[in-house]
Structure 1
């Protein structure tokens, strides 16, 4: 099969366990883009969390953010697609978070607002490269359109809530973990797979012409959707079982391995 688009998750996939983009991975991505393929980052991160990676790659790439809630068309920053939550759903999830006494984060217009404004907010601010702001007028924020709501807490609580909050979540809301300490809620139409389908339609591509690479629960939809769904060796075994192929870990340049194995000609392989 001749693949034409590669969609890659960031944390635990594109980046190694220290959060670095390795020279080997950068070289592979540049080679595959030079060969005419479309490379897209597909992440739960906001735009601000992707921009440093795009700059390091030195390429003009489309990217999918907020777990599929927004598609951004490279350097132009044109928004190809954006989906916010229904107002009543955002309000419901916010109230659920307060009931659970966890840190609640709302993303509105590429800025996050948090309650309470404490150490968790500061930690998430560093991760997302965004200065946290307090929730002072919930109704006003929700009226502007909430991209997603997150609960930030210790992994034990997040794992427990991921398994038990279902009955309290409106049917028009999807949710998943993106990091061990984050439970994310977004509109039911939002997923990495749906965003990939929209991006594919923009370029005139079929799902069979796509590769999707990931390691987490929020990557599962695109791993199932793409013609070649790839799980990282560091992914949960349940994710690996759903994949068509398991590559090396994020500390073994697993993304680069997929590029060289499935996308580049023999003469474009790295020097041994």
Structure 2
């Protein structure tokens, strides 16, 4: 039986239940694994500010991967270990695309989120990434666009036509430096609401698992991962063993080595994965 050396888990829909709590069985299983000397980490789409308390709740003192691998931070002292952003002329070009298509915009930078009045109706959607959210007078004029550290990510919300046109333009003009994905947020008979997420090209949860494995002195093949969504597929593809939550889409389940019975809304998936992969 393979002896795995690291567990990395997704947060929303995997570690956290729908109400934001952690199932007691998951918490106990994580603590047993840590007591046995196996480190536990996190790979999430959230900002670090939206993940730190969760990590500390399960006793993770070490690096965790945020913004789908674009930002890696050590929870003991909040030291920034790795960051990939969009900055300089590329950020300026991205801003011009957002302005041209007149979409509501949320900037993810400096471990926080800023928006203006146009984004206020959609704040509930981005709140899962972080609670460090501030409304500013005009987001397109905010200093984050020119900040030396650049943008960790951007979320824009608009009609399907606006989002589709902006995605095509970003892929054409910034495809070498920016990753962009679009998806429906809500469907309304009057107007469907769509969103797009933009972040630096290159990092994924897969590259994050490779980074975390090296940090802990092992290879990705020694890592067990648990997730439930499309952004978890890259880490499924590199880890030695991968578990897809019960509610995961079929395409996500197909990318994993194992399927879990547990549903993320109820919890228990982490405990099930630990029992099956580590015997704890």
Q: Same fold (TM over 0.5)?
A: yes
More helix by share: 1
Report how far residue 193 of structure 1 moved: 1.0
Task: Report the equivalent of 2:201.
Answer: 188
2:130 to 113, 120, 128: 128
Task: Report the equivalent of 1:140.
Answer: 143
Structure 1 moving runs of 4+ over 6 Å: none
Task: Report the equivalent of 2:273.
Answer: 258
| 8 Å contact kept, 2:22–2:267 | no
> What secondary structure is seen at the aligned counterpart in 1 of 2:65?
strand
> What secondary structure is seen at the aligned counterpart in 2 of 1:63?
strand
Task: Report the equivalent of 2:156.
Answer: 151
Q: TM-score, normalised by structure 1?
A: 0.85
Q: TM-score, normalised by structure 2?
A: 0.82
Unaligned runs of 5+ in 2: 186-193
Q: Determine the C-alpha separation between the residues in 2 that align with 1:21 and 1:179.
A: 28
Unaligned runs of 5+ in 1: none
> What secondary structure is seen at the aligned counterpart in 1 of 2:133?
coil
Equivalent runs, 1:109-258 vs 2, <5 Å: 109-115=110-116, 116-121=118-123, 124-125=126-127, 128-134=130-136, 135-136=138-139, 138=141, 140-144=143-147, 145-152=150-157, 157=160, 161=163, 165-166=167-168, 168-169=170-171, 170-171=174-175, 172-176=177-181, 183-248=196-261, 249-250=263-264, 251-258=266-273
CA distance 1:203–1:239, change in 2 (3 Å): same
Q: Determine the C-alpha separation between the residues in 2 that align with 1:162 and 1:232.
A: 30
Q: Determine the C-alpha separation between the residues in 1 that align with 2:128 and 2:213.
A: 32
CA distance 1:13–1:177, change in 2 (3 Å): farther
CA distance 1:40–1:140, change in 2 (3 Å): same
Cα RMSD (Å) of the superposition? 2.8
